[in-house]
């Protein structure tokens, strides 16, 4: 009965989404308060219904109800509890349901917390959100129904892909989905504003916290996914330019651009057309990512659905939403009024620069991801576009972006003074240069690129610190007051500095782990030792072990540094009972933010085994930097300015900056450019 | 019934979620200002921030002035919008009521229930695994019983009794690999017994499709030591010798076995055939006979089943020999089989056919005639 | 600065970044993409030695040999033709004889290939798409699609 109720709740949610798609939109266009009034409660109720349905599916997994086909295909009675839960979204049907759950969750958030929005905009936004919800619920009900029954029920399920039996998977897709589905709200806002014909500074201000929220989750999701691949796949790499990874990177890049351009729109009423276009593009890329992953067009680590019927269905949805919104854009955008003007050297100019490079980078990832597919479809030639392509295109596009971050965030709105900004950044510049030269001197000229990379990372970090520092105006107000000034800076100012600092941290991790890593591949006999970086790794032997649902061979290694035992490592090879599939569990030893990484290969008859060992200096900074970026985003969301807008006079005490002073989250760069 | 009750509650809830707010909004006036006051709030707020920043010295008075002018311009824009809108359409009260009520009272309940009837399985109960396993045994299928024991064993892998129970059941559902594991586990936990060893050996035999491999032979040898009188281990050991081509030893083994035989036992005929083949000096391995696994399966069967199986095998052999032809040895086996099955006419016919197919070979004809005489068939033309 | 100048600067800078991006992409597409070839392609097309490519097919049964220092040699076949592959490193978990494989590296002889990357996918039933198509073309594999 619970499974059937879940099914019914899902259908009810679909029917409500249809109502929500039509009535509030009609109300917003015709200015009818009653039609608009249903949007908020319905958005919340829809979330409850999809939530109920998701809970019902989870229940079926928990009690191993093998009369539900989805449970039979993806679960196993002896599976550990945590994987029964993560199994709910570890398959095609469940993951699309999760996708929709997050979609309606964001709708409900706007319904619940959007009291500062004008009624027509809110109603229209929720209606557009409901269009997307209806589309994807129809997709679920028509092609991927998780509540299909299998009667009579078999007594045992078919298990779950063991590579998906991992704690990282339990957290990874929900986070990633929250990120890229979150951009649906920005999309809905943009389409609603185009329909209502109202796009101005106030709109940008209402949209920005939602964009930030989605961006924070996507940042965390991507970094967690990267860490998962790093320790689970046993290849020692942390980013593979796999199409599925690219599918999440593209919305992140354009979402980052959107964050920055919405700022210009909010402060100066400029870049309107561009911002709306970015909002549409960002969610379109999210949907494209969903399509790539779910349709089976690509085959990669994450692609567990291959069903042409589903692929075509999502493709049609995709064309409908993307094509429809872009046509609407083309029709309505020319009606927008020109906004404020600004000099090329200004905060706005810097943000335009940021946008140019971020979109160019998005485009390069887009081409690299889709070109092979297009070529295959066009003349059947099969090519693979791998890391070298992206290193050559993405890398050079990132360098100027990073170079100008410190300038950009220090620049004044409207007209900036490059010389004054440069003077403030002397210390950061000097620090970066000195460090780069020291690196060059100690590592030799061969590592010139690495040294420059380190310098760049330090430049970005030091630039952020120096920006905060200069806000303290210590020279004029004294140390105590200066500190108070810095602490009292608005959340968005802190957010900017912290997020940009995080960018520097990640860059430092990437440069260091790439340029200075040590890799050793060899066959080891028990008792044999090998040097990896400054560590000495000794292979003590192999021992078998049994886990809850797998058997494994654990390699025991003792790690010494300068003769002193630093620890033991136990990488293993597992075979899962349900599917007889082997996986590699890497052994990782962390010291500071550097890691020693061991992965087992073939185990030979004589007890020797192949191992792959890496020493990756500062590798943890890659992910820590992402966390710092997310914290920066969070600080920005917390800025009370963003919650302003409701006509409540009690909101009198916001901290913070103004329409023109340079204090909010910003992007990079000097460069040229004028408003759109 | 509970399902429909809860489902209608959900549908009613959905309808109310639409009806109630619409009802409330009817009382509120739907003035357009409402929507634009939010815009005004944003801009007023921006001016407040500007003042505050100026007071704290975060921006220069000059830039603050410029910004103030810009924001004020936006505020004026909202005002103009407000005026132009005040004369605009203020709602569609007539249609709105119909739309809302139609959606809430008609569309939502009807569409959701119709869709559900179309897609769902109304009345299908949940079947949590634990509940299914807890149903009393006599009401359960074999699968459920097996799953129950398996679940028990997953929690208590050292319960030898459980493995003992499960092992023969696996054999019955033709899963010899699991049966072998189960027998081996039972033996290692509770010690070696005749039943466990013979079961283990037979399971291995079934896995290897009738070949007695080294491990199986070791099991049969252990079983033989545990019960030297028992026929099965001796039968399989003889079979092993035959398969290995150790003709002399195999002959002795079969002969000894037949000496102790009780008439009518299913295996006796196989043993005789084997012996006959060996005495013919040829090795049995080139002629596909009933595999030991078939025989072991046969010895577990009821009389009727066993007869049916043998009939099936004989029919297959006859068919093959008639259409494709075959060796003398195979014809001999067919004829003997017919006699054992008490089908003398068929035996006679088979003899004629065999003679026909060997009509150019006088030694073969002679052997066939000898066989016919031995079995009491008519050999004269 | 006049409005016109500003616009010129905008267009100029957008154009510059665009040219840079397109240039980078084209250059990279020229040099950095890797073509996928089956054993038959390699035999028939007479491809130049030293060119990077991906070779896909089935690992021939019984062809895997292991040497010192994790060196391996095996043969990749599509039923019609066979190419010998050498590789040094750890083979992926799912590398098996008789299963699909993709090797990336360069051609070092008419039918000899030196791989620096070996890919086998993470699903027992899964056949890399390119490999499946190559094999279908040669009529070896009749997948369930």
Contact A672 C9 (CB under 8 A): yes
pLDDT higher than threshold 60 for residue C142: no
Average pLDDT over chain A reads 83
B332-353: average pLDDT: 80
Given pLDDT bands bounded at 50, 70 and 90, which one contains residue A176? confident
DSSP, collapsed to helix, strand or coil, labels residue A149 as strand
Instruction: Determine the distance in angstroms separating the CA of A132 from the nearest CA of chain B, rounded to an integer.
Output: 19
Given pLDDT bands bounded at 50, 70 and 90, which one contains residue A660? very low
CA distances from A184 to A180, A181, A286, B122 (A): 8, 5, 8, 34
C67-78: average pLDDT: 83
What does DSSP say about strands C33-37 and C52-59: parallel, antiparallel, or unpaired? parallel
Instruction: Determine the distance in angstroms separating the CA of C143 from the nearest CA of chain A, rounded to an integer.
Output: 13
DSSP, collapsed to helix, strand or coil, labels residue B185 as helix
Tell me which chain A residues have a C-beta less than 8 angstroms from the C-beta of B52. 654-656, 658
Contact A601 C29 (CB under 8 A): no
Pairs from B366-370 (Cβ < 8 Å, separation ≥ 24):
B367/B328, B367/B332, B368/B328, B368/B331, B368/B332
Contact A147 B154 (CB under 8 A): no
Domain limits, chain A: 1-164, 166-412, 425-516+623-645, 518-616
Domain range holding C29?
1-33
Contact B147 A7 (CB under 8 A): no
Given pLDDT bands bounded at 50, 70 and 90, which one contains residue A97? very high
Distance CA C86, CA C106 (A): 10
Distance of CA B213 to the CA centre of its chain: 28
- Burial pattern B123-144, b for ≥16 Cβ within 10 A else e, equals ebebbbbeebbeeeeeebeeeb
Residue C125 counted as domain residue: yes
Question: Which candidate, A115, A62, A70, places its Cα nearest to that of A90?
Answer: A70
Residues contacting residue A19 through CB under 8 Å, at least 6 positions apart:
A38, A42, B18, B103, B107, B108
Residue C129 and residue C92 share a domain: yes
* The most confident of A207-211, B130-134, B287-291, by mean pLDDT: A207-211
Distance of CA A363 to the CA centre of its chain: 17
Neighbors of chain C with 3 or more C-beta pairs under 8 Å: A
Structure tokens at A633: 């985003």
Contact A363 C25 (CB under 8 A): yes
Domain limits, chain B: 313-381
CATH code, domain with C95? 2.40.50.140
- For residue A68, the 8-state DSSP code is B
Residue C127 and residue C106 share a domain: yes
- Identify which has the larger pLDDT, A140 or A651: A140
* For B91, nearest residue in chain A (alpha carbons): A32
Distance of CA B122 to the CA centre of its chain: 27
Q: Which of residues 20-39 of A touch B (CB under 8 A)?
A: 23, 26-27, 30-38
Instruction: Determine the distance in angstroms separating the CA of A343 from the nearest CA of chain C, rounded to an integer.
Output: 8
B127-141: average pLDDT: 69
Helices (H), chain B: 2-27, 33-55, 61-86, 93-101, 108-119, 129-134, 142-155, 160-172, 176-190, 194-207, 214-226, 231-244, 247-259, 266-279, 292-299, 303-324, 328-340, 344-357, 362-375
Structure tokens at A46: 């829809």
Between chain A and chain B, how many beta carbons pairs sit less than 8 Å apart?
265
Residue A24's pLDDT is 92
- Identify which has the larger pLDDT, A11 or B189: A11
- Nearest by CB: A364 against C21, C89, C91: C21
Tell me which chain C residues have a C-beta less than 8 angstroms from the C-beta of A360. 17-18, 20-21
Residue C107 counted as domain residue: yes
State pLDDT tens for residues A400-444: 999 999 998 888 777 778 888 888 888 899 999 999 998 888 887
pLDDT higher than threshold 60 for residue B205: yes
Contact A360 C121 (CB under 8 A): no
Q: Which of residues 379-418 of A touch B (CB under 8 A)?
A: 412-414
Given pLDDT bands bounded at 50, 70 and 90, which one contains residue A664? very low
DSSP, collapsed to helix, strand or coil, labels residue A665 as coil
Residue C137's pLDDT is 62
Q: Which of residues 201-240 of B touch A (CB under 8 A)?
A: none
Contact C33 A385 (CB under 8 A): yes
pTM over 0.80: no
| Count of domains forming chain C | 2
- Identify which has the larger pLDDT, A78 or A599: A599
A163-176: average pLDDT: 63
Share of chain A above pLDDT 70, in %: 87
pLDDT higher than threshold 80 for residue A235: no
Q: Do residues A570 and A556 lie in contact, with contact meaning Cβ atoms separated by under 8 Å? A: yes
- Nearest by CB: B90 against A23, A31, A471: A31
Share of chain B above pLDDT 70, in %: 78
- Nearest by CB: A364 against C25, C54, C124: C25
- Burial pattern A257-274, b for ≥16 Cβ within 10 A else e, equals bbbbbbbbbbbbbbbbbb
A384-394: average pLDDT: 84
In the numeric block, the tokens 């968005």 are attached to A492
Given pLDDT bands bounded at 50, 70 and 90, which one contains residue C133? low
Contact A15 B32 (CB under 8 A): no
Residues contacting residue B14 through CB under 8 Å, at least 6 positions apart:
A12, A15, A16, A45, A49, B104, B108, B112
Given pLDDT bands bounded at 50, 70 and 90, which one contains residue B284? very low
Preceding peptide of A152 cis, ω within 30°: yes
pLDDT higher than threshold 80 for residue A119: yes
Distance CA A42, CA A126 (A): 9
* The most confident of A162-166, A289-293, A359-363, by mean pLDDT: A359-363
Given pLDDT bands bounded at 50, 70 and 90, which one contains residue A259? very high
Distance CA A573, CA A238 (A): 20
CA distances from A436 to A231, A405, A443, A513, B117 (A): 31, 18, 10, 16, 70
Least confident of A174-183, B275-284, C13-22: B275-284
Residue B28's pLDDT is 52
Residue B26's pLDDT is 60
Residue C145 counted as domain residue: no
Within an 8 Å CB–CB cutoff, is residue A487 touching chain B? no
Tell me which chain A residues have a C-beta less than 8 angstroms from the C-beta of C65. none
Residue ranges of chain C whose CB lies within 8 Å of a chain A CB: 1, 3, 6-7, 9-10, 12-14, 17-18, 20-21, 24-25, 27-29, 31-36, 54, 66, 68-70, 88-91, 93-94, 104, 121-124, 126, 128-130, 133
Residues contacting residue A462 through CB under 8 Å, at least 6 positions apart:
A406, A427, A428, A431, A432, A504
State pLDDT tens for residues B5-39: 999 999 999 999 998 888 777 655 444 445 567 77
Contact B18 A145 (CB under 8 A): no
DSSP for A608-633? -EEEEEEEETTTHHHHHHHHHHHHHH
B315-324: average pLDDT: 76
- Burial pattern B78-108, b for ≥16 Cβ within 10 A else e, equals beebbeebeeeebbbeeebeebbeebbeebb
- Identify which has the larger pLDDT, B139 or A120: A120
pLDDT higher than threshold 90 for residue B151: no
Helices (H), A296-386: 308-318, 324-332, 347-379
To the nearest 10°, report the CA torsion of B27, B31, B34, B37.
Answer: -150
Contact A382 C10 (CB under 8 A): no
Distance CA A411, CA A420 (A): 9
Contact C6 A521 (CB under 8 A): no
Within an 8 Å CB–CB cutoff, is residue B21 touching chain A? yes
What does DSSP say about strands C82-88 and C112-119: parallel, antiparallel, or unpaired? parallel
Q: Do residues A552 and A545 lie in contact, with contact meaning Cβ atoms separated by under 8 Å? A: yes
Given pLDDT bands bounded at 50, 70 and 90, which one contains residue A380? low
Chains C and A touch (3+ CB pairs under 8 A): yes
pLDDT higher than threshold 70 for residue A307: no
Distance of CA A306 to the CA centre of its chain: 24
* The most confident of A118-132, A151-165, C30-44, by mean pLDDT: A118-132
Distance CA A254, CA A628 (A): 20
CA distances from A46 to A19, A133, A452, A607 (A): 11, 10, 52, 59
Q: Do residues A584 and A568 lie in contact, with contact meaning Cβ atoms separated by under 8 Å? A: no
Contact A357 C17 (CB under 8 A): yes
pLDDT higher than threshold 90 for residue A459: yes
């Amino acid at each position: 009965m619970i499974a059937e109720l879940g099914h019914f709740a899902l259908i009810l949610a679909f029917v409500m989404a249809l109502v929500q798609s039509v009535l509030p939109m009609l109300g917003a266009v015709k200015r009818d308060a009653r039609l608009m009034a249903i949007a908020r409660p319905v958005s919340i109720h829809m979330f409850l219904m999809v939530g109920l349905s998701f809970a019902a599916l989870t229940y079926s997994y928990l009690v191993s109800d093998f009369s539900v086909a989805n449970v039979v295909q993806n679960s196993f009675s002896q599976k550990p509890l945590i994987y029964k839960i993560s199994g709910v979204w570890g398959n095609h049907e469940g993951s699309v349901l999760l996708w929709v759950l997050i979609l309606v969750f964001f709708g409900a958030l706007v319904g619940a917390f959007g009291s500062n929005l004008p009624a027509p905009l809110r109603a229209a936004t929720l209606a557009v959100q409901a269009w997307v919800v209806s589309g994807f619920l129809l997709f679920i009900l028509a092609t991927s129904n998780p509540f299909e029954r299998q009667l009579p029920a078999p007594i045992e399920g078919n298990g779950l892909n063991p590579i998906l039996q991992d704690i990282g998977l339990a957290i990874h897709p929900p986070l990633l989905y929250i990120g890229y589905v979150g951009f649906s709200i920005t999309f809905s806002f943009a389409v609603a504003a185009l329909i209502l014909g109202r796009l101005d500074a106030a709109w940008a201000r209402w949209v920005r916290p939602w964009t930030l929220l989605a961006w924070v989750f996507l940042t965390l999701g991507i970094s967690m996914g990267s860490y998962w691949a790093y320790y689970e796949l046993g290849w020692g790499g942390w980013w593979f330019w796999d199409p599925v990874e690219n599918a999440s990177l593209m919305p992140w890049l354009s979402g980052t651009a959107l964050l920055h351009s919405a700022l210009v729109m909010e402060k100066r009423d400029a870049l309107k057309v561009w911002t709306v276009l970015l909002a549409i593009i960002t969610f379109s890329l999210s949907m494209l990512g969903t399509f790539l992953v779910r349709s089976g067009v690509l085959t990669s680590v994450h692609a567990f659905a291959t069903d042409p019927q589903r692929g075509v269905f999502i493709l049609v949805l995709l064309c409908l939403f993307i094509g429809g919104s872009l046509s609407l854009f083309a029709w309505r955008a020319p009606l927008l009024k020109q906004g404020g003007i600004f000099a090329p050297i200004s905060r706005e100019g810097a943000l335009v620069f940021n946008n140019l490079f971020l979109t160019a980078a998005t485009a390069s990832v887009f081409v690299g991801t889709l070109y092979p597919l297009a070529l295959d479809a066009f003349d059947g030639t099969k090519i693979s576009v791998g890391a070298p392509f992206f290193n050559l295109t993405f890398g050079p596009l990132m360098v100027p972006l990073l170079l100008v971050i410190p300038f950009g965030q220090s620049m004044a709105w409207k007209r900036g003074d490059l010389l004054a900004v440069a003077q403030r950044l002397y210390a950061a510049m000097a620090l970066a240069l000195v460090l780069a030269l020291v690196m060059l001197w100690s590592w030799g000229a061969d590592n010139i690129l690495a040294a420059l990379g380190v310098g760049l990372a330090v430049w970005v970090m030091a630039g952020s610190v120096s920006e905060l520092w200069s806000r303290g105006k210590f020279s004029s107000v004294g140390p105590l007051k200066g500190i108070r000034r810095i602490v009292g800076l608005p959340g968005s100012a802190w957010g900017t500095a912290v997020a940009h600092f995080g960018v520097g941290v990640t860059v430092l991790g990437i440069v260091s782990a790439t340029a200075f890593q040590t890799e050793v591949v060899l066959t080891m006999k028990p008792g044999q030792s090998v040097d990896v970086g400054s560590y000495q790794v000794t292979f003590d032997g192999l021992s078998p072990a049994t886990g809850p649902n797998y058997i494994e061979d654990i390699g025991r290694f003792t790690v010494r540094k300068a003769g002193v035992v630093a620890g033991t490592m136990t990488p293993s090879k597992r075979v899962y009972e349900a599917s007889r599939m082997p996986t590699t569990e890497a052994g990782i030893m962390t010291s500071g933010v550097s890691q020693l990484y061991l992965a087992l290969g073939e185990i030979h008859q004589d007890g020797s085994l192949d191992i792959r060992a890496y020493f990756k200096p500062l590798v943890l900074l890659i992910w820590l930097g992402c966390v710092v970026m997310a914290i920066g985003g969070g600080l920005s969301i917390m800025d009370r300015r963003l919650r302003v807008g409701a006509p409540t006079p009690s909101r009198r005490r916001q901290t913070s900056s103004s329409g023109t002073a340079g204090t909010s989250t910003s992007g990079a760069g000097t460069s040229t450019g004028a408003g759109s | 019934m509970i399902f429909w009750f809860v489902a209608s509650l959900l549908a009613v809830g959905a309808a109310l979620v639409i009806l109630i707010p619409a009802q409330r909004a009817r009382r509120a006036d739907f003035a357009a200002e409402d929507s634009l006051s939010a815009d005004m709030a944003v801009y007023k707020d921006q001016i407040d921030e500007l003042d505050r920043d100026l007071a704290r010295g975060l921006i220069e008075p000059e830039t603050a002035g410029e910004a103030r002018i810009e924001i004020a311009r936006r505020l004026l824009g909202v005002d103009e919008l407000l005026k132009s809108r005040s004369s605009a359409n203020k709602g569609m009260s007539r249609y709105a009521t119909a739309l809302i009520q139609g959606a809430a009272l008609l569309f939502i309940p009807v569409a959701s229930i119709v869709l559900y009837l179309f897609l769902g399985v109304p009345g299908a109960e949940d079947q949590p695994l634990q509940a299914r396993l807890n149903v009393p045994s006599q009401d359960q299928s074999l699968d459920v019983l097996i799953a129950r024991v398996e679940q028990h064993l997953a929690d208590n892998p050292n319960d030898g009794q459980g493995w003992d129970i499960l092992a023969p059941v696996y054999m019955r559902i033709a899963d010899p690999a699991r049966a072998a594991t189960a027998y081996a586990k039972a033996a290692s936990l509770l010690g070696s017994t005749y039943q466990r060893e013979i079961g283990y050996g037979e399971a291995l035999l079934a896995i290897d499709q009738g070949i007695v491999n080294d491990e199986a032979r070791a099991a049969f040898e252990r079983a033989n030591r545990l019960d030297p009188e028992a026929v099965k281990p001796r039968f399989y050991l003889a079979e092993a010798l035959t398969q290995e081509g150790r003709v002399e030893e195999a002959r002795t083994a079969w002969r000894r076995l037949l000496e102790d035989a009780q008439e009518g036992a299913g295996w006796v005929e196989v043993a005789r055939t084997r012996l006959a083949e060996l005495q013919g000096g040829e090795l049995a391995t080139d002629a596909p006979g009933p595999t030991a696994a078939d025989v072991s399966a046969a010895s577990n069967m009821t009389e009727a089943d066993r007869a049916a199986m043998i009939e099936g095998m004989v029919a297959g052999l006859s068919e093959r020999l008639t259409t494709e032809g075959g060796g003398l040895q195979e014809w001999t086996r067919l004829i003997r089989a017919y006699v054992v099955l008490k089908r003398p006419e068929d035996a006679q016919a088979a003899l004629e056919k065999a003679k026909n197919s060997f009509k150019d070979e006088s030694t073969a004809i002679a052997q066939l005639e000898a066989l016919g005489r031995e079995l009491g068939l008519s050999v004269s033309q | 600065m006049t409005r016109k100048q500003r616009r010129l600067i905008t267009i100029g800078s957008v154009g510059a970044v665009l040219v840079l991006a397109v240039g980078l992409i084209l250059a990279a597409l020229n040099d950095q993409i890797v073509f996928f070839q089956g054993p038959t392609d390699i035999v028939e097309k007479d491809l130049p030695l030293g060119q990077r490519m991906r070779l896909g097919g089935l690992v021939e049964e019984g062809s895997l040999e292991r040497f010192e220092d994790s060196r391996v040699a095996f043969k990749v076949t599509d039923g019609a033709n066979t190419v010998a592959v050498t590789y040094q490193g750890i083979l992926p978990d799912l590398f098996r004889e008789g299963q699909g494989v993709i090797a990336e590296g360069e051609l070092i002889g008419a039918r000899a290939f030196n791989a620096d990357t070996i890919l086998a996918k993470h699903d027992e039933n899964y056949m890399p798409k390119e490999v499946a198509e190559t094999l279908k073309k040669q009529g070896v594999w009749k997948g369930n699609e």
